[in-house]
Structure 1
């Protein structure tokens, strides 16, 4: 196991912070979502209309 000098440790932590900031900036991008209501019986249209009303509200 090698020990780092304080300057090496500082550089390593700066690099780690830079990588983390890049990941956070990429995660902040908006993503879409598609919901498909399927199945037999009733409730599909009601569920879809309820989702639309919530989105508009």
Structure 2
């Protein structure tokens, strides 16, 4: 059986994993820092897509 890993850094997850909702999907991360990084990356990508759509 494969081990679950953090969606941001690939660190092995344990019972303290944090669920984060990004782009309509729930992913698991190892810590609040990784959760913040994913949220910021999603916000940046979404803003870039919206800017491109307006151009």
- Structure number with bigger Rg: 1
Q: TM-score range by the shorter chain?
A: 0.3 to 0.5
- Normalized per residue, the structure richer in strand is 2
Q: Which has the higher contact order (CA 8 A, sep 6+)?
A: 2
TM-score w.r.t. length of structure 2:
0.47
TM-score w.r.t. length of structure 1:
0.45
